[in-house]
């Protein structure tokens, strides 16, 4: 409520090694800031108040998009506008370019980064407001009471917390089998999307494999060319066309035979659980089939199977089905 | 009548500063020695402060002072909106203010204060408070309104609620209850009767500029930089908060970053820097209000829970309306939106009989205040889709049904409200007819809603009313010795530029070249006359009159001076090209020469003698400029024979996505009844901006509360969801009724800034009803999930009368 950040020490490392050393030294006392669109809100509300803030914008190797032969590498500090406008991304991974162009607003995309987008914290308004919920280290979930306002919350995998992934890029990276490169103490490791996004059953206080208290830093996103040039789809259903988080989004990558038969397909939805949700029922259903109205009916039937709606979000069930049907239906175009 | 200046486009004199960033808003000011204030606000919706321990705060480096409620004049009690309160009645209500050398130190000191609160019962749903034994938002009462409803406790009976059931509005005792005509007979003769319960959500003003303020004291006067959409009208209310005389308050209000009705007059938090400055011996104090604080301490449009029964003849004529509104009044005096439901319905539909009942119920939610079309716009949003529903049931075209009822052709015989009094003019039927032609309505509507794949294209119509004028305010103009006309205005800089548009009347009457006119504006230093607040629709009508009477007074003085100087009588002269010339030819005297002569003559000619009936503010301003030229101040005593009816119609075409619930506006036309157009570009900007605001009110914006904690779920723009520029069509059509004129205004003008929003929002909602084959949600806004649930035969998440929910 204050709109006035606490006092902190701002450090702007020039190299990755320097940043890693600082993170190793300060661990959970340090907070990495990328575009700042998530971090500064936390600071202004004084809900999060790290002593050290690392602004990593000066580290050159964290910027840019490059073709690495078998994969495309995207620096974590690459802006969403750069991704949306990249000819390389648009050609190989149009779903990612499309998702990047639907995140937040044009102004935010000019400073918001892909790393920040997939690492941002959940937008549960109770948690953001400083309620001492499970995710904030407390012992209850305020968004999952008999009267809670939870229109934007989960359909699946609640596990004490009903917050959802807010990222539009996350489901795309999930279906493209992306890997996230994380630096820790001078070493790097690659984490597949399926393991990168973390649900409350693994750790309720973080949403990704990046562990602040261990000095982790997301440095790069590698997207293998497995799905480059495949038929891809992204759609976001939201209240507004800009500066809004998805009610549900869908991402798909597919390979289709010349006769229209779906040979291989990966599809995921965001904003329905804490992590991007792969629609394995849909994937199992459509491979070997050709898009059709009959198939569409079945897609709608299975897309949200197992959903456990909360007070205000059962509309997401048909919405998931429709978006999944549209995604697969796009293959017949 | 052909005008030289009115009806032409002119560049507002403040626009360059706005687009270059040179404009200075309240929080842009800095002064030597300035200190900064932060507020400690209530985390609870209703509580009593039992202890405040500031000992740790005082140890924060840079701490200067605390100001709390005990240092202010005692509260009037009841639903009074207190500046600082030890009995907070909504989350975010300021309890105390802390001053420090820096803003950060002030925030640190606020955090260091230990505050003990005793939680009190709270209520966010008005119906809960009306239940027997239901909680009161304020200790001792649950009903109040600043217009005509004293603070009191009203509870309805268990039987009232049992009779209604869960889905229909219970209807108990109300403080407002009026009727005209034989309601029962008119319902009996109706071919169709619709009866619906409804909800209209509260939603925030969220002006881009929060209500930051700064102040200092000097020579017994307080100087306040404030964010207000009105200039002169804001002074007395600010003086009231400070316990001072208006003449001791210097208000600087050159720019305002949006008000939408929420800054029509001063508001409690605006007083805090002045009060803190006084405590600090006059030291400059800055208080920056955060976006979240703006959502708590700004104001919001009142929500409604209501019921309406409408009887229609077979031809669509509205025979009878029986309406009942429960208003979510917030925890303060609120605004009389609910009463405007009655007036607005009676004007737009001209029912043959009508009953209206209303009750404003206090809740522990942020203060409610007037927002663009307060009450009238909610009325349009509820009533217009019902008109289309009725038309479809009666086998009529929705336009045809509206044309049967709407007042037009000047409004002869049209009536308003409980007493069925006249209105000054009405061209709503003409707006519908002209708009339908411009929008190509018949062609678009011909085949009904069009299904295109997963989408439905549909056309909707909206109409709206707002009272649009007053009398009794003052004008002040001055001709200096260089011949330049100075038009003093107390109209604020809301962003509509009506301070300029209304000033043009003075130049028109005196025959000036607009380039030789200066608008004196920006607050007290501009020596303002007493003007009505910048209440959107009211400004055009009211301050064209004040400038007309002041310019007419100046004209009389010019003719008088010429007669005295050149011989003959004033009737022998006329004005031409900034010169007084003899009608017979030969003799002339420039305005500049007249101004010099006015100073020489003194008295009534240069402002040293003034009419007694002028407002003290006008007298003080005229006295301040007395002797600088020819000074003319006058009070508007022109006749006014009815309620000024601002009216507007709108046409819209939408594309509704049946799978995602998204509503895309494909095309739109707003067409208000404005009488004489003062400023074509300004008018078009109002129509377009109102459309954007209306689409948000209809489709996305609402306040949300957790009912268990009384916690607001909207405290940021991304949660409040006003439309972005990507949510509206690139081209929004703007027109106006050709040939309209208001005979009660000397230049035929009247306002329309408010009804064009209600016309837009109701057209949007009407089109959804058309797209869904006559289905009416009876709830505003209609958000995507409501459409999805409806089309998938799922129950809605909310109960029919539930409020403040998602």
What are the backbone dihedrals phi and psi of residue A285, each rounded to the nearest 5 degrees, phi first?
Answer: -70, -45
Q: What is the mean pLDDT of chain A?
A: 96
Answer whether B788 sits within 8 Å of A129, measured CB to CB: no
Query: What pLDDT sits at residue A162?
Result: 98
How large is the average pLDDT for residues B388-403? 98
Q: Which two tokens stand for residue B86?
A: 């030890």
Question: Minimal Cα–Cα distance from A151 to chain B, Å?
Answer: 6
The answer for residues whose C-beta is within 8 angstroms of residue B616's C-beta and 6 or more apart is B246, B247, B530
Question: Minimal Cα–Cα distance from A16 to chain B, Å?
Answer: 32
* Residue linked to tokens 């002119």: B10
How large is the average pLDDT for residues B226-245? 96
**pLDDT tens per residue, range B586-597:** 999 999 999 999
pLDDT-based confidence at residue B376 (cuts at 50, 70, 90): very high
Answer whether A46 sits within 8 Å of B107, measured CB to CB: yes
pLDDT-based confidence at residue B75 (cuts at 50, 70, 90): confident
Domains of chain A: 61-120+170-226 (3.30.465.10), 229-332 (3.30.390.50)
Answer whether B708 sits within 8 Å of A313, measured CB to CB: no
Query: Is residue B299 a contact partner of residue B368, using CB atoms and an 8 Å limit?
Result: yes
Q: What is the mean pLDDT of chain B?
A: 97
Task: State whether residue A107 sits within 8 Å of chain B by CB.
Answer: no
Query: What pLDDT sits at residue A3?
Result: 83
Q: Is the pLDDT of residue B74 over 90?
A: no
Picking from B774, B667, B805, B626, the residue whose alpha carbon sits closest to that of residue B202 is B805
Pairing status of strand B415-416 against strand B353-361: unpaired
Answer whether B797 sits within 8 Å of A315, measured CB to CB: yes
Q: Do B470-635 and B300-469+642-791 fall under one CATH topology?
A: yes
Q: Is the pLDDT of residue B1 over 80?
A: no
Chain A hits for B700, CB-CB cut-off 8 Å, are 239-240
| Ranges of H-type helices in B533-644 | 537-566, 591-601, 616-625
**pLDDT tens per residue, range B169-179:** 999 999 999 99
Query: What pLDDT sits at residue A81?
Result: 98
Query: What pLDDT sits at residue B723?
Result: 96
Answer whether A149 sits within 8 Å of B104, measured CB to CB: no
Question: Minimal Cα–Cα distance from A68 to chain B, Å?
Answer: 36
Q: Domain map of chain B by residue range?
A: 31-120, 300-469+642-791, 470-635
Query: What pLDDT sits at residue B65?
Result: 98
pTM over 0.90: yes
Q: What is the spatial distance between Cα A316 and Cα A329, in angstroms, rounded to a whole number?
A: 19
* Domain B470-635 fold: Aldehyde Oxidoreductase; domain 4 (3.30.365)
**pLDDT tens per residue, range B663-699:** 999 999 999 999 999 999 999 999 999 999 999 999 9
Grouping H, G, I as helix, E, B as strand and the rest as coil, residue B31 is coil
Task: State whether residue B104 sits within 8 Å of chain A by CB.
Answer: yes
Nearest by CB to A148, which of B38, B706, B789? B706
Task: State whether residue A323 sits within 8 Å of chain B by CB.
Answer: yes
**pLDDT tens per residue, range B737-777:** 999 999 999 999 999 999 999 999 999 999 999 999 999 99
**pLDDT tens per residue, range A276-333:** 999 999 999 999 999 999 999 999 999 999 999 999 999 999 999 999 999 999 999 7
**pLDDT tens per residue, range B11-44:** 999 999 999 999 999 999 999 999 999 999 999 9
Q: Is the pLDDT of residue B54 over 70?
A: yes
Q: Is the pLDDT of residue B733 over 70?
A: yes
**pLDDT tens per residue, range A66-92:** 999 999 999 999 999 999 999 999 999
Share of chain A above pLDDT 70, in %: 99
B residues 727-786 lying closer than 8 A (beta carbon) to A: 727, 783-785
Nearest by CB to A315, which of B291, B713, B789? B789
Query: What pLDDT sits at residue B447?
Result: 80
**pLDDT tens per residue, range B598-656:** 999 999 999 999 999 999 999 999 999 999 999 999 999 999 999 999 999 999 999 99
How large is the average pLDDT for residues B263-272? 95
**pLDDT tens per residue, range B122-133:** 999 999 999 999
Q: Is the pLDDT of residue A1 over 80?
A: no
Q: Is the pLDDT of residue A7 over 70?
A: yes
Picking from B394, B424, B393, B389, the residue whose alpha carbon sits closest to that of residue B407 is B424
Question: Minimal Cα–Cα distance from B369 to chain A, Å?
Answer: 22
* Residue linked to tokens 């009306």: B130
Domain with residues B31-120, CATH architecture: Alpha-Beta Complex (3.90)
* Domain B300-469+642-791 fold: Aldehyde Oxidoreductase; domain 4 (3.30.365)
Answer whether A4 sits within 8 Å of B806, measured CB to CB: no
Task: State whether residue B659 sits within 8 Å of chain A by CB.
Answer: yes
Nearest by CB to A237, which of B110, B662, B726? B662
The answer for residues whose C-beta is within 8 angstroms of residue A63's C-beta and 6 or more apart is A75, A77, A78
Residue B453: how many CB atoms within 10 A of its CB? Answer: 8
CA dist list (Å): B237 to B256, B257, B263, B266: 17, 20, 11, 6
């Amino acid at each position: 409520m204050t709109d006035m950040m606490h006092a902190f020490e701002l450090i702007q490392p020039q190299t990755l090694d320097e940043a890693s050393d600082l993170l190793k030294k300060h661990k959970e006392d340090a907070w990495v800031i990328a575009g700042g669109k998530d971090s500064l809100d936390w600071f202004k509300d004084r809900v999060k108040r790290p002593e050290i803030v690392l602004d990593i914008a000066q580290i050159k190797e964290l910027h840019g998009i490059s073709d690495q032969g078998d994969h495309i590498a995207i620096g974590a500090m690459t802006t969403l506008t750069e991704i949306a406008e990249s000819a390389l991304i648009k050609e190989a991974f149009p779903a990612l370019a499309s998702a990047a162009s639907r995140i937040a607003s044009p102004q935010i995309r000019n400073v918001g980064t892909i790393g920040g987008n997939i690492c941002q914290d959940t937008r549960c308004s109770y948690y953001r407001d400083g309620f001492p919920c499970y995710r904030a280290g407390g012992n209850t979930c305020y968004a999952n009471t008999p009267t809670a306002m939870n229109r934007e919350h989960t359909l699946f995998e609640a596990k004490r917390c009903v917050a959802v992934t807010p990222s539009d890029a996350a489901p795309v990276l999930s279906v493209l089998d992306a890997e996230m490169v994380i630096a820790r103490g001078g070493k790097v490791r690659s984490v597949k999307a399926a393991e990168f996004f973390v649900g409350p059953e693994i750790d309720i206080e973080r949403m990704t494999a990046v562990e602040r208290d261990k000095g982790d830093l997301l440095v790069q996103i590698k997207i293998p060319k497995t799905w480059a040039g495949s038929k891809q789809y992204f759609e976001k259903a939201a209240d507004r066309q800009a500066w809004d988080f998805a009610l549900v989004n869908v991402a798909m990558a597919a390979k289709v035979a010349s006769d229209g038969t779906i040979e291989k397909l990966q599809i995921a939805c965001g904003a329905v659980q804490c992590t991007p949700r792969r629609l394995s029922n849909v994937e199992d259903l459509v491979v070997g089939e050709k898009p059709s109205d009959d198939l569409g009916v079945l897609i709608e039937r299975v897309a949200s199977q197992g959903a456990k709606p909360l007070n205000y979000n059962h509309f997401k069930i048909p919405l998931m089905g429709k978006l999944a049907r549209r995604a697969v239906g796009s293959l017949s175009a | 009548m052909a005008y030289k200046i009115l009806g032409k486009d002119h560049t507002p004199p403040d626009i360059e500063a706005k687009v270059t960033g040179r404009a200075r808003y309240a929080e842009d000011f800095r002064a030597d020695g300035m200190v900064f204030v932060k507020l400690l606000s209530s985390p609870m919706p209703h509580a009593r402060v039992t202890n405040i321990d500031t000992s740790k705060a005082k140890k924060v480096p840079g701490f200067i002072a605390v100001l709390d409620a005990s240092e202010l004049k005692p509260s009037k009690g009841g639903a009074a909106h207190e500046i600082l309160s030890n009995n907070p009645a909504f989350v975010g209500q300021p309890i105390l203010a802390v001053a420090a050398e820096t803003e950060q130190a002030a925030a640190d000191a606020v955090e260091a204060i230990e505050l003990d609160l005793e939680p009190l019962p709270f209520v966010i749903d008005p119906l809960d408070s009306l239940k027997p034994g239901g909680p009161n938002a304020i200790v001792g009462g649950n009903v109040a309104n600043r217009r005509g409803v004293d603070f009191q406790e009203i509870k309805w009976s268990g039987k009232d609620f049992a009779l209604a059931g869960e889905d229909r509005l219970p209807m108990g005792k109300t403080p407002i209850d009026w009727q005209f005509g034989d309601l029962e007979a008119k319902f009996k003769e109706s071919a169709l009767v619709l009866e619906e319960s409804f909800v209209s959500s509260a939603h925030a003003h969220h002006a881009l500029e929060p209500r930051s303020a700064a102040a200092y004291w000097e020579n017994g006067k307080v100087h306040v930089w404030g964010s207000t959409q009105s200039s002169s009208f804001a002074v007395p209310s600010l003086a009231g908060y400070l316990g001072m005389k208006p003449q001791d308050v210097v208000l600087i209000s050159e720019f305002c970053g949006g008000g939408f009705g929420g800054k029509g007059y001063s508001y409690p938090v605006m007083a805090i820097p002045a009060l803190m400055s006084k405590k600090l011996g006059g030291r400059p104090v800055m208080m920056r209000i955060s976006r979240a604080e703006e959502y708590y301490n700004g104001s919001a449009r009142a929500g409604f829970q209501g019921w309406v029964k409408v009887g229609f003849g077979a031809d669509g004529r509205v025979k009878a309306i029986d309406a009942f509104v429960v208003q979510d009044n917030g925890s303060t005096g609120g605004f009389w939106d609910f009463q405007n439901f009655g007036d607005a319905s009676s004007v737009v539909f001209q029912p043959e009989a009508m009953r209206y009942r209303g009750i404003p119920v206090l809740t522990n939610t942020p203060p409610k205040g007037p927002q663009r079309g307060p009450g009238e716009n909610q009325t349009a949003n509820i009533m217009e889709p019902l008109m289309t529903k009725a038309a479809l049931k009666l086998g009529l075209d929705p336009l045809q049904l509206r044309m049967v009822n709407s007042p037009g052709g000047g409004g002869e015989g049209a009536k308003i409200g409980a007493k069925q009094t006249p209105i000054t003019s009405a061209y709503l039927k003409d707006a519908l007819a002209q708009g339908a032609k411009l929008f190509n309505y018949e062609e678009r509507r011909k085949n009904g809603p069009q299904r295109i794949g997963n989408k439905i294209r549909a056309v909707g119509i909206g109409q709206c009313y707002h009272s649009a004028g007053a009398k009794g305010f003052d004008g002040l103009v001055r001709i200096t010795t260089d011949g330049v006309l100075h038009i003093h205005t107390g109209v604020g800089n809301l962003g509509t530029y009506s301070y300029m548009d209304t000033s043009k009347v003075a130049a028109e009457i005196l025959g000036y070249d607009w380039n030789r006119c200066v608008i004196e504006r920006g607050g007290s230093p501009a020596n303002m006359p007493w003007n009505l607040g910048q209440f959107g629709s009211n400004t055009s009508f009211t301050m064209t009159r004040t400038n007309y009477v002041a310019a007419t007074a100046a004209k009389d003085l010019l003719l008088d001076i010429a007669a005295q100087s050149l011989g003959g009588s004033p009737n022998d002269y006329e004005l031409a090209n900034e010169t007084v010339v003899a009608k017979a030819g030969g003799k002339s005297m420039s305005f500049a020469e007249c101004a010099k002569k006015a100073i020489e003559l003194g008295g009534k000619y240069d402002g040293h003698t003034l009419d007694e009936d002028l407002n003290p503010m006008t007298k003080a301003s005229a006295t301040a400029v007395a002797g600088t030229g020819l000074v003319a101040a006058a009070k508007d005593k022109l006749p006014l024979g009815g309620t000024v009816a601002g009216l507007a119609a709108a046409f819209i075409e939408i594309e509704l996505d049946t799978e995602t619930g998204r509503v895309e506006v494909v095309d739109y036309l707003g067409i208000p009844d404005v009488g004489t157009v003062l400023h074509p570009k300004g008018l078009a900007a109002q129509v377009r901006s109102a459309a954007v605001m209306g689409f948000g009110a209809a489709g996305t914006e609402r306040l949300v509360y957790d009912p268990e904690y009384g916690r607001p779920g909207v405290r940021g723009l991304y949660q409040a969801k006003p439309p972005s520029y990507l949510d509206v069509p690139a081209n929004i059509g703007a027109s106006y009724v050709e040939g309209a004129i208001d005979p009660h205004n000397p230049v035929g003008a009247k306002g329309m800034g408010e009804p064009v929003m209600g016309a837009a929002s109701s057209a949007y909602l009407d089109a959804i009803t058309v797209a869904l084959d006559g289905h009416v949600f009876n709830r505003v806004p209609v958000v995507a999930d409501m459409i999805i649930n409806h089309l998938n035969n799922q129950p809605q998440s909310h109960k029919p009368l539930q409020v403040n929910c998602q």
